[in-house]
Chains A and B, each alone.
Chain A
């Protein structure tokens, strides 16, 4: 099996789907001639032509809204926001038009919105966000966030084949730092299923995106404790049964995400566990997240805000000792 970076896996998945189905096309700023700000679509315009790799004007609502129109007519647009943060400029079309179309009219909107998300490189408040929680509040959108190269390719394929609008969060920090074996050819990773990144018995860390690696690193050798790490990878739909199975096993849970604290995905997961697995708990359900601040620019400030390995170790230790 070839080994490739997370970024290459996304490209590979996109390319495979575009070869397989000519109704799949890409649209976004600088994705064509330039190959994309992060080079995800590098080489695409040469292979697929300008018609299927569209350099759009600088207008996020236009990108999303046009994608909706194309999708209801049977095409499968894959939109790219240059940074996840800019989804705010296309928010109206995404939550008011795309998300509600099927509910109101029974029309499928098979489109994908790719969001390069996350911080850790002094991107500052407008290039570092993890906005996934906004979309948990928009019924009608599906949301996925791969953490491995294999899942990145499989989930972009599933997202494209899904008849619903899917928000795909690709964490920028993982683009070149995560490498892995990726199966050749087309394959899909199902939505709504967790991945057990490591099995364990004493405590569960539930996470997604860039934090999965942090969770694994922090709990690899933690005072001899056996820590299970769950990679959610699908936020809507959420694999409730997968989460609860782990809670029943270890009875201690730390939920970890890079996004800010209040009403994040962690809040939803914790509430679910508290309600559905109360009698399986041997300690309070904990969260490790960024605090409720915009992501700052200067490295020491940013490091103080984004969850670090030591933060995760500390939380796990406290809970293990409870």
Chain B
């Protein structure tokens, strides 16, 4: 069915959807080479700047070439396909009926915007599953190119498919004619697996958070010497937590939750501490009334919560009601990060690696100090950069002025 471009060929190019849009991605071709298409009938679905849209055919005719495959991103104006406008409708593909659509059809007509081609009937879906058939490979002779039960049975070789007429020259694509039992080898699908439920849920929460809050990240550098001296075998985290709580007392606006337009500043500090669960993901147990605990108390609680998180023994109360979250992946050596806020809180503090660095101390002297970056992402809907910076400075002050 392919033919070389002729002077009657009508070109289909990547449209410009919006003044500033420079490129687009092919999502799905609605027509194959050899199909008949009417003028204004959707011929391809594209995606530009996160908006998906259908492109109507510029002319009636037979699709003679498709030049850009689904999934590719090309510049606006790129030639995508050609239509032979001189061609006549007829039996080229069996999904072109010679009768017009019956207007008084009782069938539910799927809305054009759902964008996934003709429906798969229950029996076809079941049989395809049972026999491991990829329906993309099956010729559809039903309405709108639908694969019917008969088509599938014929494909499976139950009975010869007498309805499909081979043209003299085989089509360049798609797969070979279904009369022959020969099947070209399918390329092995890329290895992959479904995300676990937990991963999906974490992902959904993160996406929602990004979409809800106006994320900004402010970074302040802190000298950890005083804590280094005091910590013994404890990790940095309980000390930073204690310092954070102290700072939250000075800047209660950071110990808040924002839901819609409603900002609630909390008296108590329920401190969420992110706990890694390895490959499975992460969870954020909450130290309730953390403001009542010393750094040792915090250390003990954090240790307990982390253990129970890993052995899946947390109660629902222990993973809800947080007012501020600290995440501490610093063991792995990263310096900076831009964490995602734990909704509906207004800020999250990321404690990254503590590394020894030369810093300026006193007036102009250089010393080697254990430094860390305190990276706080905060919601610009609830507060401004100035407040964020002031808060972080207070955290640093408490860290650097640590005296137990």
Write the residues of chain A forming the contact surface with B, with a CB cutoff of 8 angstroms.
Answer: 202, 251, 278-284, 286, 318, 321-322
Q: Contact: A318 with B146, CB < 8 Å?
A: no
What's the Cα separation between A16 and B261 when bound, in Å? 85
- Min CB–CB distance A100 → chain B (angstroms): 38
Q: A83 to chain B: closest CB distance in Å?
A: 32
Which one, A202, A278, A321, contacts B122 given CB within 8 A? A278
Restricting to B83-110, which residues have a CB under 8 Å from any CB of A? Answer: 97, 102, 105-108
Given contacts A281-B121, A282-B148, A282-B149, contact A321 B97 (CB under 8 A): yes
The answer to whether the Cβ of B42 comes within 8 Å of any Cβ in the partner chain is no
**Identity of the chain A residue whose Cβ is nearest the Cβ of B147 in the assembled complex:** A282
Contacts of B122 in A (CB 8 A): 278-282
Q: Decide if A280 touches B123 in the complex (CB within 8 Å).
A: yes
CB distance from A66 to the nearest CB of B (A): 46
Tell which of B106, B121, B125, B142 touches A321, judged by Cβ atoms closer than 8 Å. B142
Determine how close the nearest CB of chain A comes to the CB of B287; give it in whole angstroms.
51
Question: Which chain B residues lie closer than 8 Å to A278 at the CB level?
Answer: 122
Interface size on B, residues (CB 8 A): 18
Interface: B357 (CB within 8 A): no
Does B143 lie within 8 Å of A282, measured CB to CB?
A: no
Interface residues of B in 117-175 (CB under 8 A from A): 121-126, 142-143, 146, 148-150
B244 to chain A, nearest CB (A): 57
Contacts A251-B149, A322-B142, A322-B143 given; does A283 touch B121 at CB 8 Å: yes
Q: Is the beta-carbon distance between B107 and A322 smaller than 8 angstroms?
A: yes
Give the shortest distance, in Å, between B333 (CB) and chain A (any CB).
54
Q: Closest CB-CB distance, B116 to chain A, in whole Å?
A: 18
In the assembled complex, the CB of A200 is this many whole angstroms from the nearest CB of chain B, namely: 13
Complex CA distance for A280 and B126, rounded to whole angstroms: 8
**Contact assessment for B107 and A284 in the assembled complex, using a CB-CB cutoff below 8 Å:** yes
Chain B nearest CB from A223 CB (Å) reads: 12
Chain B residues with CB below 8 A from A321, complex form: 97, 142-143
- The answer to whether A318 and B121 have CB atoms under 8 Å apart is no
B97, closest chain A residue (CB): A321
Question: Contact: B123 with A318, CB < 8 Å?
Answer: no
Contact pick for B105, options A280, A281, A318, CB 8 Å: A318
Are A251 and B108 interface neighbours, CB within 8 A?
no
CB A276 to nearest CB in B, in angstroms, measures: 12
Contact bitstring B275-316, A, C-beta under 8 A = 1, else 0 = 000000000000000000000000000000000000000000
- Whether A279 lies near B106 (C-beta < 8 A) is no
8 A/B residue pairs, CB under 8 Å, sorted by A? A251-B121, A279-B125, A279-B126, A282-B122, A282-B123, A284-B106, A318-B105, A318-B107
Chain A residue numbers with a CB within 8 Å of B121 are 251, 281-283
User: Would A279 and B123 count as touching, CB distance under 8 A?
Assistant: yes
